[in-house]
Amino acid sequence: MIAGAAAVLAQQNKPLAENFSGATLEGQTIELESLRGKVVVMTFWSTRCAICVSEIPKLNQMAASHQGRDVVFLGLTTDNPTLVESFVKNRPFNFNLLPGSFGVLLKYAERDRAGNLNMGFPAYFVINQQGEIELKATGWDKTNAVNSQIDRLLITGQAKVE
Protein backbone atom coordinates (compact mmCIF):
# COMPACT_ATOMS: atom_id res chain seq x y z
CA MET A 1 0.00 0.00 0.00
CA ILE A 2 2.78 2.44 0.86
CA ALA A 3 4.68 1.65 -2.34
CA GLY A 4 1.51 2.32 -4.35
CA ALA A 5 1.01 5.64 -2.58
CA ALA A 6 4.62 6.60 -3.32
CA ALA A 7 4.09 5.84 -7.02
CA VAL A 8 0.98 8.04 -7.09
CA LEU A 9 2.86 10.82 -5.31
CA ALA A 10 5.74 10.56 -7.79
CA GLN A 11 3.28 10.88 -10.67
CA GLN A 12 1.76 14.00 -9.11
CA ASN A 13 5.15 15.72 -8.87
CA LYS A 14 5.77 16.11 -12.60
CA PRO A 15 6.77 19.66 -13.41
CA LEU A 16 4.23 21.68 -15.34
CA ALA A 17 5.55 22.91 -18.70
CA GLU A 18 5.77 26.69 -18.72
CA ASN A 19 3.42 28.33 -21.17
CA PHE A 20 4.81 30.29 -24.09
CA SER A 21 3.74 31.54 -27.47
CA GLY A 22 5.79 31.88 -30.60
CA ALA A 23 5.46 32.50 -34.30
CA THR A 24 6.17 29.81 -36.87
CA LEU A 25 8.06 30.53 -40.09
CA GLU A 26 4.65 30.84 -41.75
CA GLY A 27 3.57 33.51 -39.23
CA GLN A 28 1.14 31.30 -37.28
CA THR A 29 1.13 31.90 -33.52
CA ILE A 30 1.34 28.80 -31.38
CA GLU A 31 0.65 28.88 -27.66
CA LEU A 32 1.60 25.85 -25.60
CA GLU A 33 -1.45 26.17 -23.35
CA SER A 34 -3.75 25.79 -26.38
CA LEU A 35 -2.24 22.34 -27.06
CA ARG A 36 -3.56 20.77 -23.83
CA GLY A 37 -5.11 17.40 -24.50
CA LYS A 38 -2.33 16.51 -26.95
CA VAL A 39 1.15 15.12 -26.51
CA VAL A 40 3.64 17.87 -27.34
CA VAL A 41 7.20 17.13 -28.42
CA MET A 42 9.52 20.11 -28.28
CA THR A 43 13.04 20.00 -29.58
CA PHE A 44 15.47 22.85 -29.07
CA TRP A 45 17.99 22.89 -31.91
CA SER A 46 20.38 25.18 -33.77
CA THR A 47 21.56 25.50 -37.36
CA ARG A 48 25.13 25.44 -35.97
CA CYS A 49 24.67 22.14 -34.10
CA ALA A 50 25.95 19.15 -36.12
CA ILE A 51 24.09 16.67 -33.90
CA CYS A 52 20.86 18.66 -34.34
CA VAL A 53 21.24 18.59 -38.11
CA SER A 54 21.88 14.84 -38.09
CA GLU A 55 18.69 14.28 -36.06
CA ILE A 56 16.37 16.08 -38.54
CA PRO A 57 15.58 12.96 -40.65
CA LYS A 58 14.77 10.95 -37.50
CA LEU A 59 12.52 13.71 -36.18
CA ASN A 60 10.79 14.00 -39.54
CA GLN A 61 10.22 10.25 -39.59
CA MET A 62 8.86 10.31 -36.03
CA ALA A 63 6.52 13.20 -36.85
CA ALA A 64 5.29 11.37 -39.95
CA SER A 65 4.64 8.18 -37.98
CA HIS A 66 2.39 10.11 -35.58
CA GLN A 67 0.58 12.15 -38.21
CA GLY A 68 -3.18 12.20 -37.61
CA ARG A 69 -2.73 11.41 -33.91
CA ASP A 70 -2.95 13.82 -30.98
CA VAL A 71 0.76 14.64 -31.12
CA VAL A 72 2.27 18.03 -31.95
CA PHE A 73 5.94 18.49 -32.84
CA LEU A 74 7.59 21.87 -32.34
CA GLY A 75 11.16 22.79 -33.28
CA LEU A 76 12.41 25.76 -31.28
CA THR A 77 15.58 27.63 -32.11
CA THR A 78 17.19 30.87 -31.03
CA ASP A 79 18.28 31.41 -34.62
CA ASN A 80 16.55 34.26 -36.45
CA PRO A 81 13.80 33.57 -39.01
CA THR A 82 15.93 34.58 -42.02
CA LEU A 83 18.68 32.12 -41.10
CA VAL A 84 16.15 29.34 -40.42
CA GLU A 85 14.31 29.95 -43.72
CA SER A 86 17.59 29.66 -45.60
CA PHE A 87 18.60 26.55 -43.63
CA VAL A 88 15.35 24.62 -44.20
CA LYS A 89 15.54 25.04 -47.98
CA ASN A 90 18.11 22.21 -47.96
CA ARG A 91 17.06 20.46 -44.74
CA PRO A 92 13.28 20.69 -44.38
CA PHE A 93 11.41 19.88 -41.20
CA ASN A 94 8.01 18.17 -41.37
CA PHE A 95 6.62 20.11 -38.42
CA ASN A 96 6.36 23.65 -37.06
CA LEU A 97 9.53 25.59 -36.40
CA LEU A 98 9.59 28.54 -34.03
CA PRO A 99 12.66 30.68 -34.70
CA GLY A 100 13.75 33.43 -32.32
CA SER A 101 12.74 31.34 -29.29
CA PHE A 102 15.39 32.57 -26.84
CA GLY A 103 12.69 33.53 -24.33
CA VAL A 104 11.36 29.97 -24.37
CA LEU A 105 14.87 28.58 -23.95
CA LEU A 106 15.23 30.74 -20.83
CA LYS A 107 12.12 29.09 -19.39
CA TYR A 108 13.26 25.52 -20.07
CA ALA A 109 17.05 25.56 -19.62
CA GLU A 110 18.64 24.34 -16.42
CA ARG A 111 20.89 26.74 -14.53
CA ASP A 112 24.27 25.98 -13.03
CA ARG A 113 25.28 27.13 -9.55
CA ALA A 114 26.36 30.50 -10.92
CA GLY A 115 23.00 30.97 -12.64
CA ASN A 116 24.35 30.41 -16.15
CA LEU A 117 22.18 28.63 -18.71
CA ASN A 118 22.92 24.94 -19.06
CA MET A 119 21.18 23.15 -21.94
CA GLY A 120 22.65 20.60 -24.28
CA PHE A 121 21.58 20.54 -27.91
CA PRO A 122 19.47 19.07 -29.19
CA ALA A 123 17.17 19.12 -26.17
CA TYR A 124 13.90 17.21 -26.14
CA PHE A 125 10.85 17.73 -23.97
CA VAL A 126 7.80 15.49 -24.11
CA ILE A 127 4.76 17.09 -22.52
CA ASN A 128 1.72 14.99 -21.61
CA GLN A 129 -1.92 15.78 -22.25
CA GLN A 130 -2.19 17.59 -18.90
CA GLY A 131 0.73 19.91 -19.69
CA GLU A 132 3.29 18.15 -17.52
CA ILE A 133 6.86 17.39 -18.57
CA GLU A 134 7.15 13.61 -18.95
CA LEU A 135 10.63 13.46 -20.47
CA LYS A 136 13.57 15.79 -20.73
CA ALA A 137 16.61 14.57 -22.66
CA THR A 138 19.58 16.15 -24.40
CA GLY A 139 22.18 15.02 -26.86
CA TRP A 140 22.60 12.61 -29.71
CA ASP A 141 20.07 9.93 -30.63
CA LYS A 142 17.36 10.43 -28.04
CA THR A 143 14.64 9.86 -30.63
CA ASN A 144 13.96 6.26 -29.48
CA ALA A 145 13.35 7.44 -25.92
CA VAL A 146 11.15 10.28 -27.17
CA ASN A 147 9.16 7.94 -29.43
CA SER A 148 8.68 5.42 -26.62
CA GLN A 149 7.38 8.14 -24.33
CA ILE A 150 4.92 9.37 -27.00
CA ASP A 151 3.64 5.83 -27.56
CA ARG A 152 3.25 5.25 -23.82
CA LEU A 153 1.23 8.44 -23.41
CA LEU A 154 -1.01 7.63 -26.37
CA ILE A 155 -1.54 4.02 -25.25
CA THR A 156 -2.23 4.78 -21.61
CA GLY A 157 -4.83 7.25 -22.86
CA GLN A 158 -4.18 9.83 -20.25
CA ALA A 159 -7.40 11.77 -19.80
CA LYS A 160 -7.85 14.53 -22.30
CA VAL A 161 -8.53 18.01 -21.04
CA GLU A 162 -11.71 19.20 -22.73
Sequence-distant (6+) residues with CB within 8 A of 9 are: none
List pLDDT tens digits, range 119-152.
Answer: 889 999 999 999 999 999 998 888 889 999 999 9
- Start-to-end C-alpha separation, the chain: 32
List pLDDT tens digits, range 47-68.
Answer: 999 999 999 999 999 999 999 9
Question: Which letter does DSSP use for residue 132 in this model?
Answer: B
Q: Judge contact between 93 and 59, C-beta under 8 A.
A: yes
Which of 131, 119, 117, 158 lies closest to 31 in space, CA to CA?
A: 131
List pLDDT tens digits, range 75-114.
Answer: 999 999 999 999 999 999 999 999 999 999 989 998 889 8
Rounded Cα distance, 21 and 90, in Å: 27
Pairing of strands 123-127, 39-44: antiparallel
Pairing of strands 117-118, 110-111: antiparallel
Which pTM value belongs to this model?
0.85
> Domains of the chain by range and CATH?
17-156 (3.40.30.10)
Q: What count of other Cβ atoms lies within 10 Å of the Cβ of residue 116?
A: 9
